[in-house]
Amino acid sequence: MHVLGLLHFKKLSKLKKAKIERKLTPKAQPLPRLPFLTSQCSFPSLTCCDSLHRNILFFFFFFSFFPMPPLHIIPAATSFPNPLLRHPSKTLTPKPRPLSALLQWNRKPELSGSTPRVTVITSGKGGVGKTTTTANIGLSLARLGFSVVAIDADVGLRNLDLLLGLENRVNYTVIEVLNGDCRLDQALVRDKRWSNFELLCISKPRSKLPLGFGGKALTWLVDALKARPGGSPDFILIDCPAGIDAGFITAITPANEAVLITTPDITSLRDADRVTGLLECDGIRDIKMVVNRVRTDMIKGEDMMSVLDVQEMLGLPLLGVIPEDSEVIRSTNRGYPLVLNKPPTLAGLAFEQAAWRLVEQDSMQAVVVEEQPKRGFFSFFGG
């Protein structure tokens, strides 16, 4: 009995010693599990490492057949300790800005050159978009914070007031100013939408050009605008009449720069080339070009000259490219320029960008856009 009691005492001592050692030894931490995998293993014979290996194999084979979803749509992905994984946008490239954000520039363009900038908008050929360009670029400059005076120099066939929706507010014209019937500030029509934009018409509809009116009279008018008590405007835009007769010579006389409007057809290009020579003979060297009514589908089908071809033929800096837009007719009938449309159209955005380049006396480069072949599902396998 004494021997059995001694053996029982030694056995109890070993058990107590093992319990003390287990308390002193730190408890082993389980291996981390992926949060989007299966629950605990249902096989009691497998160890923790075997369960982890099984989950990794399942992860590999599953996502080899199905694409892995983005981290932000996985429910347990936010439990990762890495803070960058909670905000995947910090590690990815930011999304491009929407098209309407192009109108909200972060800075005002720097006005280049001496003020006021007297710019004549001409083409030589009628119906290419001179008046539409004058209205949209003028309001774009006003939206950028510059003071603008737009002069409709087409005697008897004025249309700029219609495109701006100001036809009912034109009470006096330049002819009345020259005759002494009114003051210059009475002939200026201020736009209610943008107070820094004003319209000045040479004459009333169906009136004839007086004999004493010419380039000297328009030069006097521009000098009078420069000497206004409230300060001279930043831009004076002259909407030139069609043709190269006396009205054209009168409109280009006070200008120190020109914007030539053309369309990608041979008749318009021949007239534009002729007008370019006349502008250079008059001493206007700063000439930029706007290609209007461009249709990419016809260019791809080789039914219309590309912008690069037009630039090579005329040899002028490119101020802007205006795509063909059916909204132009609607805006003309409403007296509401394209640049004021919400949401903006492609043509309206092109006018805004042309106005920006006009302020900074910049130009754009014409590029050749080649259509990429469509790739189908079997193109991955060489089909």
Long-range contacts of 215-223 (CB under 8 A, 24+ apart): 215/249, 215/250, 215/253, 215/254, 216/253, 217/174, 217/178, 217/250, 218/151, 218/153, 218/250, 218/251, 218/253, 218/254, 219/253, 219/254, 221/151, 221/174, 221/177, 221/184, 221/254, 222/118, 222/254
Q: What is the pLDDT of residue 85?
A: 35
Calpha distance 122→227 (Å, rounded): 26
Q: What is the pLDDT of residue 231?
A: 87
User: Quick one: tokens of 207?
Assistant: 């009136």
The burial class, CB within 10 Å (0-12 / 13-18 / 19+), for 214 is middle
Q: What is the pLDDT of residue 146?
A: 96
Secondary structure class of 258 (helix, strand, coil): strand
What are the residue boundaries of the structural domains of the chain, listed by start?
A: 115-359
pLDDT per residue as tens digits for the range 295-310? 999 999 999 999 999 9
Secondary structure class of 350 (helix, strand, coil): helix
**pTM of model > 0.95:** no
Which numeric CATH code is attached to 115-359? 3.40.50.300
pLDDT per residue as tens digits for the range 98-127? 444 444 445 678 888 778 999 999 998 889
Using the structure block, give the residue that is written with the tokens 């992905």: 77
Calpha distance 52→46 (Å, rounded): 10
Q: Cis ω on the peptide bond leading into residue 343 (within 30° of 0)?
A: yes
Q: With contact defined as beta carbons under 8 Å apart, do 251 and 238 qualify?
A: yes
Calpha distance 233→198 (Å, rounded): 10
Q: Which residues in the chain show pLDDT less than 50?
A: 1, 3-4, 6, 31, 33-48, 68-105, 211, 368-372, 380-381, 383
Q: What is the pLDDT of residue 336?
A: 94
